[in-house]
Amino acid sequence: MKEKRGQHNLWSKDFSCITGATILSAIGGEAMSLPVSLLVFDETKSTLLAALLMVCGLLPDVLIPVLAAPFIDKGGKKKWIVGMDVLLAVVYGAMGVWVSSHSFSYGLYLAFTLVVGTISVLYRLAYQAWYPNLIPVGLEQKGYAVSSMIYPTVVIVMAPAAAFLYESVSMGMIFGMVSIFALLSVGIESCIGEKQKYKENEKNEAYSLRQYLLDIREGIDYLKQEKGIRNIYTYMSITNGASEGVGILTQAYYQTQPWLTVTMLGCLKSAEMIGRAMGGLLQYKKEIPAEKRYLFTKCVYLFYDWMDALLLFMPYPLMVLNRFLCGGLGISSATVRETAVQSYLPEQMRARVNAFFDVAFAVSGTVCHMLAGVLGQIMPFRAAALLLGMFTFGSALFWIVRPGAVNRRVYEAKREGGGE
């Protein structure tokens, strides 16, 4: 009876704490990222240097996840989460002190972006591996729905707030405020209990290079055996990268068409974020049965790819509706996918498996950014977006629809026990 009652109470102390800490981290990240990007462009007047800053933030995702994941899988995740937030607080605080008494330095902001990107990679790996343990068993979809609503809701609120801060206060003060947010996150995260299974000898033995290499090999061997996991995340890396490419082409299209404006582009992005927030709320209210997860996500993937392909051929009101629907359906399928995949993965393998696919996502994103740029130079923006959308549609047929039997096993997974 005790376990049954727990299944009706998502908001345990630990889950409430991780949710509160995540909200604070998201607010701090959004409050910092926009002012930094605005400052760099204002000071350099160069889109190339602004783009280089973004690429610098992606570099840690290419190599660090695979190298760091075995260490994260081996021990407690809480120490990584708390430690990374402490480091962020120190970095933000130090930047606040420095910029308050020195002139703008592009190299300093490149280094800052690289350091924060590295810390964020380690934080995300530990968070992804720990978060499932903090959701009561049987309430995974609700838990991931809550998580999926945080970022779009924060963006809707903080995007104008961050722009206001940039225009109203000094960068040093913004850095100081975000440092305080990181420290508040540390205080909340420290209240979370950590319950994990470890072998006694794993606690006491020194972690050797040989064991480290064996752990990486174990992750690779696991992926070789799990075709369903490979299929799902191969497709996700392709569609995420291609969708970002469509975003680049969409921005270029809006900036070159006399009947479109940058403000209209902003409204388009807001519609998507509102859709994401509402989709997350719907997932929280209504659970999709495990046996229907595969059918639901398959249909969403096919619809989403078509909407990406056709976006720039629509009149503006339909573009807004397109992004709203894609935002809502996209976050819904992401919630269902994370619920299934993180329930399917063994706890001791989560960080390593997630790391391999973080690298795949980073590489795919970089390639698709470049591909979108090249296509935009040699053909009309609408044709280039159509080509990318149809490519991802074909990928969905090949990686998701065709191998339906093996993929279905992953989507129908249910978590056993509570990670205790």
Domains of the chain as residue ranges with CATH: 11-191 (1.20.1250.20), 219-414 (1.20.1250.20)
Quick one: pLDDT at residue 84? 95
Residues 398, 293: Cα–Cα separation, whole Å: 18
User: Would you say residue 2 has pLDDT above 50?
Assistant: no
Residues 186, 194: Cα–Cα separation, whole Å: 15
218 pLDDT tier (thresholds 50, 70, 90): confident
R_g over Cα of the chain: 22
What are the structure tokens assigned to 273, written together? 């974020």
Contacts of 89 (CB under 8 A, 6+ apart): 179, 180, 182, 183, 186
205 pLDDT tier (thresholds 50, 70, 90): low
What is the sign of the dihedral through the CA atoms of 52, 53, 59 and 61?
Answer: negative
Quick one: pLDDT at residue 76? 78
What are the structure tokens assigned to 85, written together? 């937030």
Residues 381, 352: Cα–Cα separation, whole Å: 38
Phi and psi torsions of 299, nearest 5°: -65, -40
Residue-wise pLDDT for 80-106, tens only, equals 999 999 999 999 999 999 999 889 999
Q: pTM for this one?
A: 0.75
Q: Are 185 and 18 in contact (CB under 8 A)?
A: no
Q: Are 414 and 135 in contact (CB under 8 A)?
A: no
